[in-house]
Amino acid sequence: MPDDLSQQKPNEDAHEQKRTSWVKGKEMGGKIMGWVLALMVAILALCIGFSFKSRYPISSSSPSPQQKLFKVDELALYNGTDEGLPILLGILGSVFDVTKGKTHYGVGGGYNHFAGRDASRAFVSGNFTGEGLTDSLRGLSNAEIKTVVEWRSFYQKTYILVGKLVGLYFDDQGNPTKHLKGAEAKAARGAQLLKKQKKEEDKLPSCNSRWSQGEGGEVWCDDGFPRLVQRPLEIALTGKMSKRCACFREDQLGEPGLEVYDGCDYQAKTCRV
Ligand SMILES: *[C@@H]1O[C@H](CO)[C@@H](O)[C@H](O)[C@H]1NC(C)=O
Ligand SMILES: *[C@@H]1O[C@H](CO)[C@@H](O)[C@H](O)[C@H]1NC(C)=O
């Protein structure tokens, strides 16, 4: 998994509310906890996996070279309501059997809205209502599309690919469409930019930060002074401007583009945010 500054690593808990009330550490330090959680979930998912036998007619030991082509209506039957059918999910037109993750994808599971359809967009929008459950990625940034592609990799690693959904991403012959190729190209571009951004940002140490419901947030530098700076590649990545907190030495404070936190002293090492 490539280093990733602004996106959550795919795991099945990613969309659930984090209830941690005190996040402490480097700017992205909270992510580490998230990754540990992700690992635990993955292990759990595996354990669950062993206790379920896939009931999908395609055997995993001898995968059919010609995978099944699904129509939208057909895929909809595998939404988890019929206990006798496997649970299927589409992402970027690839269809996976997620029956072994029944607790997530079955009726009442937190991910049930992904079952029986391709809701690629919802993996990044988190919008599980109405038209939010669409396969269209129109208007999403390269970084967001990269996240969707990473989710597909997650399913490739964790579940069994059983076919393709005829529609936006595959034609009725099962060939990838220009939409699929376009999404993959954008994701690759996003990955490239994120790597470059990380390299740039590694030159300037990030501030420490913490936040609690009671006390609000603060940023501080062990060495140097906290300043807000523009993230150089953010526009290309997300289409939006975004700033981060970095630590500067005293002799760098005159550089252009450094912003003192509102209500914070020029020479303060800690600022409330
Ligand atoms: C869910 O699947 C069942 C049968 O498996 C089907 O009868 C029902 O129409 C499906 N629901 C939707 C919203 O497609
Ligand atoms: C989800 O998507 C629908 C349809 O595009 C939209 O009407 C709704 O406002 C969205 N909800 C959220 C929380 O973004």
List per-residue pLDDT tens for the chain, 273 residues long: 333 333 456 777 655 443 333 333 444 444 445 555 555 555 455 444 444 444 444 444 444 555 899 999 999 999 999 999 999 999 999 999 999 999 999 999 999 999 999 999 999 999 998 899 999 999 999 999 999 999 999 999 999 999 999 999 999 999 999 999 999 999 999 999 989 888 888 888 999 999 988 889 999 999 999 999 988 777 777 777 889 999 999 999 999 999 999 999 999 999 998
Retrieve residue 13's tokens.
Answer: 């808990």
User: Residue 125 C-alpha to ligand 2 middle, in angstroms?
Assistant: 9
Pocket probe for ligand 1: among 71, 75, 78, 82, the residue whose CB has the most ligand atoms within 8 Å is 82
pLDDT at 151: 97
pLDDT at 21: 35
What are the phi and psi torsion angles at 26 (to 5°)?
Answer: -60, 165
Q: Residues lining ligand 1, judged by CB closer than 6 Å?
A: 76-77, 79, 81-82, 85, 116
- pTM of the predicted protein model: 0.68
Burial 80-99 (b: 16+ CB within 10 A, else e): beeeeebbbbbbbbbbbbbb
Give the residue, by CA position, lying nearest to ligand 1 atom 7: 77
Q: CA-CA distance, 271 to 263, in Å (whole number)?
A: 8
**Which candidate, 96, 102, 198, places its Cα nearest to that of 157?**
96
User: Residue 133 C-alpha to ligand 2 middle, in angstroms?
Assistant: 9
Give the residue, by CA position, lying nearest to ligand 2 atom 14: 127
pLDDT at 38: 56
Burial 185-203 (b: 16+ CB within 10 A, else e): ebbebbbbbbeebeeebee
Ligand 1 atom nearest 85 alpha carbon: 5
User: Residue 88 C-alpha to ligand 1 middle, in angstroms?
Assistant: 12
118: which strand partners?
A: 90
What Cα–Cα distance (Å) separates residue 267 from each residue in 92, 249, 260, 273? 50, 11, 9, 16
Q: Identify the burial level of 102 via C-beta atoms within 10 angstroms of its C-beta, where 0-12 means exposed, 13-18 middle and 19 or more buried.
A: buried
User: Residue 154 C-alpha to ligand 1 middle, in angstroms?
Assistant: 26
